[in-house]
Chains A and B, each alone.
Chain A
Amino acid sequence: MKTLADLRAMKEKAKREMTARDENTKYRIVVAMGTCGIAAGARNVMSAILDEINKRDIADTIVTQTGCLGYCDQEPLVQVFQQNKKVVTYGKITPEIARRIVAEHIVGEKILTEQVFMQN
């Protein structure tokens, strides 16, 4: 049985680790999770990304969600942010393509050109 103090200490430790992760982040993957994105399958896309990152034990990448980006017909949309680089927005993403984004863009550092919807 853990005391409240133990739990607080654990939370603090985890928080420090998360801050360290934020500071060392190379990529930020953002999944559009507005109503349009969710209806088009964004949840399975995000699950696939989380799974692939865990399997490959990638430490320098953050996955997060955002709302509607205004391109509902291109959903599910996934954006990859990298410092000092153009934002890559991928459109019509399936879980399979999402896994490829992790493997090829994040790990291989090569953009999946044929899936890019926008780059700016």
Chain B
Amino acid sequence: MRELSLHILDIAMNSIEAEATRVIIVVEELESENLFRIRLRDNGKGMTRDMQEKVLDPFVTTRKTRSVGMGLSLFKQAALQCNGNFKLTSELGKGTTVLAEFQLDSLNRSPLGDINSTIINLVMGTLDVHFMYIHRTDSGRFCFDSYWIFGRMAERDISFYKAGELAKEFIEQNLELVNSKG
């Protein structure tokens, strides 16, 4: 994948297929620690220990396990190529957490890319899932909650799609804010 935000979309789709009702996505871009960290946590159906091992092996996963594929192993590979870490924790019936850490200045690290489109696509396409997106840098942090969209719809009496467009602008502005230095 050319962008880390595409990996995020891919992993979050696993959460949706695992029947999660809440997905929390955290992106941390910390120059002070030379660290780029991505964390996704869901309350989906989780995985057995056996399955957790299988999903990380691109050659073992079969088509029969519909909800998993190559995604996690690709994500893990991306992190490890950047002198990073990867951790998958899951509990059956409770949910799954995926943690990927990258050396921020690694030449192998793909850019985050269009994270805004990733978040908006997830939120607009999956109304019954509550998404939270937190972005943190050395200069600050912001949080986007998918309920924001419902709030705007009710408050301004606008369509769902119009509210989605506003959400995109909102995320854009906040990303600029936390990415600006000082």
Contacts of B10 in A (CB 8 A): 33-35, 38
Stretch among A13-21, A75-83, A85-93, A104-112 lining the B interface: A13-21
Inter-chain contact B161/A50, CB cutoff 8 Å: yes
Inter-chain contact B150/A15, CB cutoff 8 Å: yes
* A54 adjacent to chain B (CB < 8 Å): yes
Q: Interface size class for chain A?
A: 20 to 34
* B51 adjacent to chain A (CB < 8 Å): no
Inter-chain contact A10/B154, CB cutoff 8 Å: yes
Inter-chain contact B164/A43, CB cutoff 8 Å: no
A-B pairs with beta carbons under 8 A, tally: 94
* B89 adjacent to chain A (CB < 8 Å): no
Inter-chain contact B159/A7, CB cutoff 8 Å: no
Q: With A and B bound together, what is the CA distance between A57 and B159 in angstroms?
A: 8
Partner of B154, one of A14, A47, A53, A70: A14
Residues in A lying within 8 Å of B, measured CB to CB: 7, 9-11, 13-15, 17-18, 21, 31, 33-36, 38-39, 43-44, 46-47, 50-51, 53-54, 57-59, 63-65, 67-68, 70
Closest 7 CB pairs of A and B: A14-B150, A10-B154, A54-B161, A13-B154, A35-B71, A65-B125, A14-B153
